[in-house]
């Protein structure tokens, strides 16, 4: 009888604790991983041109398991938002960090190379399809705004940014969007684009909690002003969603 009571009590205890255990696992999975934080740090410091901070961010990212090719891909990706000079300086800094680590006996994994793109569809159509997948909104004609005012840049955007760059597979869409919003938050003055890409972040599976943590990383990496500006835009995005 006592044994039966003990078993029943044990089952009830485990049953009551189960939601808390599950909640703890959910909270953990809902947090930015060290690799994701590494991508944010690297993108933000590359975009802001703070090479001393970038060296530290690169070392931490490598220590936390980012491969050389993942970091390289992130720095290549961000040139579309911060320009070739920042991207190239980032790559040069990565090269120096890898040499320093190699001299210390640290053998950092290269990681997977980008797969060849084997798609015979026109690049504009591929880029358009990827953008629609990211935003969840079908592209409509006639074009308006900047796309109507300067059609050439709209073509470049579809063919190069969303086909040539987003179509590559070393980083996921979510990881590419983390890199993107990190750059936009760091350079400032591009609030409409930051709002658009924070919305895309939600569409590609990044949670509200992860985006709030992203703001915290921007504060510690770039500065208080940049984080407050980004927080204001994120609040707008979350308000619009609700």
Rg (CA), the chain: 22
- Per 3-state DSSP, the chain is made up of helix, strand and coil in percentages (nearest 5) of 75, 0, 25
Query: Domain limits of the chain?
Result: 32-115+168-241
Question: pLDDT band at residue 242, thresholds of 50, 70 and 90?
Answer: confident
What pLDDT does residue 29 have?
A: 56
Summarised one tens digit per residue, pLDDT across range 109-141 is: 999 999 999 999 999 999 999 999 999 999 888
Which of 26-35, 149-158, 214-223 has the least mean pLDDT? 26-35
Across the chain, what does the average pLDDT equal? 90
- Cα(97)–Cα(224) distance, integer angstroms: 27
Nearest residue to 113 via CA among 153, 147, 67, 60? 67
pTM: 0.87
Which of 22-26, 78-82, 144-148, 235-239 has the least mean pLDDT? 22-26
CA 203 to chain centre: 13
Domain made up of 32-115+168-241: CATH architecture: Up-down Bundle (1.20)
Summarised one tens digit per residue, pLDDT across range 46-104 is: 999 999 999 999 999 999 999 999 999 999 999 999 999 999 999 999 999 999 999 99
Question: pLDDT band at residue 241, thresholds of 50, 70 and 90?
Answer: confident
């Amino acid at each position: 009888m006592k044994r039966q009571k003990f078993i029943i009590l044990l089952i009830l205890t485990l049953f009551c604790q189960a939601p808390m255990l599950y909640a703890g696992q959910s909270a953990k999975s809902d947090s930015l991983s060290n690799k994701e934080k590494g991508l944010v740090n690297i993108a933000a410091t590359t975009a802001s041109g703070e090479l001393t901070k970038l060296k530290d961010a690169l070392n931490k990212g490598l220590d936390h398991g980012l491969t050389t090719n993942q970091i390289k891909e992130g720095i290549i990706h961000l040139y579309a938002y911060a320009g070739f000079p920042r991207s190239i300086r980032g790559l040069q800094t990565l090269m120096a960090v890898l040499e320093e680590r190699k001299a210390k006996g640290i053998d950092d994994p290269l990681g997977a190379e980008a797969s060849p793109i084997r798609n015979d569809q026109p690049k504009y159509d591929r880029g358009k399809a990827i953008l629609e997948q990211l935003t969840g909104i079908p592209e409509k004609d006639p074009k308006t705004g900047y796309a109507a005012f300067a059609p050439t840049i709209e073509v470049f955007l579809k063919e190069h940014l969303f086909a040539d760059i987003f179509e590559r597979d070393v980083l996921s869409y979510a990881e590419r969007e983390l890199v993107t919003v990190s750059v936009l938050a760091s350079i400032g003055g591009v609030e409409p684009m930051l709002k658009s890409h924070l919305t895309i972040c939600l569409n590609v599976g990044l949670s509200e909690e992860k985006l709030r943590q992203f703001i915290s990383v921007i504060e510690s990496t770039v500065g208080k002003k940049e984080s407050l500006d980004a927080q204001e835009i994120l609040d707008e995005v979350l308000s619009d969603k609700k």
